[in-house]
Amino acid sequence: MKNVCRYFVLVIMTLLFVSCSDNNTEEYMIKYTDKPVVGKFTYILGVHPLHNPKKLFEVYQPLVDYINKQLVGAEIKLEASRNYAAYDKKLFSGYFDLSLPNPYQTVVAADKDYRIFGKMSDDENFRGIIIVRKDSDIKSITDLKEKTISYPAPTALAATMMPQHFLHINGININKDIKNTYVGSQESSIMNVYLKKSIAGSTWPPPWIAFAKENPNIAKELEVKWETNHLLNNGLVVRKDFPVDLLKKISHIIFTLHTHEKGRNILKAMELSKYEKADYNTYDKVREFLKGFEKEIRPIRLIND
């Protein structure tokens, strides 16, 4: 009976892996009603793919609901994207009104239609981790040579660029010594390792912690082998034409979440202690990292940004 149960769990997780990697998957957006709410302006909040779309809504919809209860004449709708490429296209074209991008996407957006007004706190959690199976023969970084490494996407900073930088400074030429495969999501990167499609996979702490909580039997077969240094956490950006008074209201709601129980419960699901104010100059260290990464390792700006 145990073997049968384990088989069905594996089948379900494999289907999840496939769905996360499928570029033809439809965009995932909650629909509140067939008709717009009379007298209300609707603004789109886009969150970069730090989870698969279903999980992302489970984590971030409570925040949107909480904000909407306190707004008059306006509402926020949460939109997820099927992968990083789809999200990047929407963000860099100015589609979102508000967004929570990773730091790379944050600095690119800030040079376009957006301005930075906040960020996630807990910068120490914004680091890359490289996961292997416990039963693998990987003991040292050089054991990764000629092997396949999985990542969520080329533009994932903590989960891709920072691990690739880590490998680079530890003697791995990522363009010649290993095979890099970009699988679409954090969960897919982890599952590739579990299913032995890659010898190692990279992600970052919040998705790994969430995955381990929801899939303990799979997570116990895996281990975090290496960790990178940290950078600044994900940013909050707003379109430059967004109503100033409305942004003040929303900012106050977000930046005070940690001061009350309801807000702390919302933050807990995000593996986050609080949000904090930020501006263009806050992300100078990220710009410096990206400049060095592109010079020493590989191009990043793969789209017309």
> Could you report the per-residue pLDDT of 132-178, keeping only the tens digit for each?
999 999 999 999 999 999 999 999 999 999 999 999 999 999 999 99
18 pLDDT more than 50: no
Rounded distance between C-alpha atoms, residue 235 and residue 244, angstroms? 18
Q: With 70 as the cut, is the pLDDT of residue 302 above it?
A: no
Full set of structural domains in the chain with CATH: 26-123+232-296 (3.40.190.10), 125-230 (3.40.190.10)
**Percentage of residues of the chain with pLDDT beyond 90:** 80
At residue 50, the pLDDT reads: 83
Mean pLDDT of 239-256: 98
What's residue 52's pLDDT?
82
Q: Residues of the chain with pLDDT > 70: what percent?
A: 86
**Could you read off the pLDDT of 180-192 as tens digits, one per residue?**
999 988 999 999 9
Mean pLDDT of 268-284: 97
Within 10 A of 255 (CB to CB), how many other CB atoms are there? 17
